[in-house]
Every structure is written in structure tokens, then in C-alpha cells.
Amino acid sequence: MLNQITNFKHSDEYRSRIHSLIPGGAHTYSKGDDQFPVLSPAAIARGKGAYVWDVDNNKYLDCSMGLTSVSLGHAYEPVLDAIRVELENGVNFQRPAKIEMEMAEIFLGLVPSHQMIKFAKNGSTVTSAAVKLARAYTGRKLVAFPSDHPFYSYDDWFIGRTACNKGVPSEFSELTATFLSTDLRTLQELFEKYPQQIACVISEPEKSHINDPSYCKRLSELCKKNGALFIMDEMITGFKTAFPGSIHKFSGCADLATWGKGIANGFSFCALTGKKEIMELGGIRQKGEEKVFLISSTHGGETISMAAAIATVEEFKKKRVLEHNHEIGRFFSEKASEVILKKHLAGLVDIVKSEWLPLFTFKDKNGSVCPGMRTLTMQEMIKRGVLFQGIFVPCFSHNRTDVEFFMAALEETLDVYSAALEKGFASFLVGEPAKPVFRRFL
Ligand SMILES: Cc1ncc(COP(=O)(O)O)c(C=O)c1O
């Protein structure tokens, strides 16, 4: 039997104070207390490689790696070395920092179908900038995204179309339309319903649980035919599905692409890349043209995050990082399937096998997806030293031993799961099930 973590004293203190200081208790709702069981770390004190330590000094194998942003590992030495050098030169100046041109050339070197790039500190900024640029370029107002994908921005154009639209005037949300990524006839219908009104379609290029290799091509063709731009959001897929991302497989089909998580090993560096004739609208050299205020950010040119991004790109190139991560993803997927079979839980605990993002679904004994069973699984994995929410994001610091450790915890957890199938999760779960991030009421 694995050691069990039972001490959450400092976590409980943290939880009891943080919500009166920070609304939501965190800076993305995905990190919030309502996303985790009660018996869980409330805050992380430090991380190294594939492991993190909470405020009670409990050690966990990390599975989601900073919401998928940490592609090499926590406090990864070659990235830290690059930052230390840059730090000594100062981090923000009255004019652009020298490293901005180096960064632009390196990143665009990875995306041959795009000629210009703009930096920002978070993903929402670049997806919103892409939408603005598409509206400016096409002179149209409407935006479309797949409603079966979870998140593109906290800005009004996106969040106004979710259940959490309080604070967004309906005039804004009405400028966004949705379709289903699993049925592109619904996008065709949107183009028919709003002829020559849709400026762009923004979409992730692929999901590990939806396997449709023709999706991007068909989406881009529909956009072209109807005069809309295709924005490929590589926030999650970047540096994961391929290098630099899915755009490598579907080259040329995206007019604009957005990047963030994973490209700077967790540092705050995001980017919008695109075709020159569109991106140039955000420039200042087309005399007499109306100016498009694309991205303006005091911190957009901060240097250490760029040093982190350059070091991350170098590591990916030098050390065949993607191959390693994919090998771990495949090994993980195989091992997890074996454990599920061994525990006779096939059909109740499902795993999507994936080399870049294996993910689980947890069901009750009637076969219905069950948040309570999922939260119970999290509780039991956390107790056994695995910080787990239902996905595994392979990074360069994960090795086969870490995967074996995960599987030992999973085996024991699934025994509790089987017992809970009979008695109900409430007999085993302390506190309430985790809640959906996008819910109208608290
Ligand atoms: C596909 C996608 N796009 C955009 C974003 C926004 O990124 P950020 O949280 O850095 O603003 C996210 C964040 O989860 C995302 O998953």
C-alpha cells in the first residue's frame, strides 16, 4: 500500500483566508477550490521537474503541469539559466528590448506559413487580438467558435456566449455564433444564416478525444469559400501534438494562429502569428490607412519570459522533447488501459488513449458520467501523492517510473472506486463533488 497524505493543515488555513482576499481564490477559475475535493492541496509552494510540493510540504506527481503550460518540467534548469542571464540586463525598457527581434525570428522560423508575430502575456489577449484583426480585415462583425470546445477567452466576445455571461451586454454576445466541431454542416448553416457577415472562425485544430484528421482542412475550405478568416488556436496543442503544433500537420490552412501554454515552459509568453497582409493591419507603416489598435501592453515586451521561450524552443529542438513526451503519453495510455481492465472497470472508467493528452471519464454504475465519482478519484489519487484531475499532460521531466507510480496509485484508487459504485460516492468522498467552471449559478 502506498503512503497516504493526511495532513492539509496549512492548506485548510489558506483556503479559509484566500477567498476574502482574492475573488475566486485564484487567477483562473480552473485552479479554484470548487474544482477540487476538500482533501486536496489549496496552494503549491514549489515545483521541480514532474513534482510539486504543497504548503504542508506534501509531495505530488504533477499531471496537468500548470494547466498544460509546463512542457519541460517545473524549475527546469536550462530555462532557469537563460532567465538568470537575461534578468541581469533588466526586464522592461522605454523602447523594445533587443531580444524581441530574436524572439520573433525564432518563432516565425517554426511557422513557415506565417510571416508576422505579436507577443502578449496571456492567451485571452492573443485570441481577442486575432478576432479584432479578422473583423478589421474583413469589415464584418460576427465571430464563430465551436460550442463543444471549452474555452477561448475571458473577453466579452467569447464569455458572453457561455453560461457565465453576467456583466456582458447582450449586444456583444449577439455578435458571436456557435457551431459543433463534430458536425461541420452546422458551420455551413451559420454561413447560410449570416451571409457575408462572419469575420472569422476560431477553433482548436484537434482534441485528443475527437479524432477527425480532415477537420482543419474542411473548416478552412468553408472559411475560404465564405470569405471568413480561420484562426487556429494552438494554446493547448502548441508544442504538444507536433512541433511547433498542429499547424505543422495542416500547414497553410490557418490565416492566424494563437499560442501560449507550453511555448515558454509556464512563463507568461503568448503569441499571435499570421499572414503578412492581415497582420500588417496592426502595423504603423501603411501611410494614410486607418490604424488598428491590435495589442498594446506594457508587459508584452518583458524580457525574461522571452528568454524562457527561446530556451524552451532550443530544448525542444536539441533534445527531441516532443518524441519523449509522445512516448510517455503512449506508455501512460497503455498502462492505464491495463489497470482499468485488471480492475474490471472497462466502460465505467474510460480512457482516451493519446500520445499528447490522455484523458479519463468517470461514470456511475448506470454508465452516466458522474462528477462525484470523478472527484472521489481525484481525492484518492491526491491521497496517494498524485495531483490528478482526469488528464495527464506528458512533459519532458516525466519518465516511465513516474508513470508506474501513477499506475500504483490508480490501482488502489480503483478499489475504492469499485466500492463506491456499490455504496455511492458520498460514502467515501469528503465534501462536495467538483463543479463545472462554466455554470451560471454558484
Ligand atoms: C484553447 C484555449 N484558448 C485560449 C485560452 C486562454 O488562455 P489564457 O488562460 O492564457 O488567457 C485557453 C486557456 O485555457 C485555452 O485553453
Distance in Å, CA 378 to ligand 1 centroid: 23
CA–centroid distance, 127 to ligand 1, in Å, is 8
Tell me the CA–centroid distance for residue 260 and ligand 1, in Å.
Answer: 8
10 Å Cβ neighbour count for 326?
Answer: 18
Residues of the chain with pLDDT under 70: none
Grid cell for residue 91? 526586464
CATH number of this structure's domain 92-301, picked from the four choices 3.40.640.10, 3.20.20.70, 3.30.1380.10, 3.60.20.10: 3.40.640.10
Nearest CA to ligand 1 atom 8: 123
Atom of ligand 1 nearest to the CA of 69: 10
CA 415 to chain centre: 31
For ligand 1, is residue 236 a contact (CB within 6 Å)?
yes
Look up residue 287 and give its three cell numbers.
501611410
CATH topology of domain 9-75+320-427: Aspartate Aminotransferase, domain 1 (3.90.1150)
Q: What is the pLDDT of residue 211?
A: 83
Other residues' Cβ atoms within 10 Å of the Cβ of residue 436: 13
pTM over 0.85: yes
pLDDT at 251: 78
- Domain ranges in the chain with CATH number 3.40.640.10: 92-301
Binding site membership of 235 for ligand 1 (Cβ less than 6 Å): yes
- 151 CB under 6 A from ligand 1? yes
Specify the amino acid at residue 245: G
Distance CA 196, CA 144 (A): 13
Cα–Cα distance for residue pair 156/176, rounded to 1 Å: 10
CB atoms within 10 A of CB 344: 10
Residues of the chain with CATH 3.90.1150.10: 9-75+320-427
Question: With contact defined as beta carbons under 8 Å apart, do 205 and 216 qualify?
Answer: yes
C-alpha to C-alpha distance for 340 and 342, rounded to whole angstroms: 5
Task: Tell me the sheet residues that pair with 330.
Answer: none
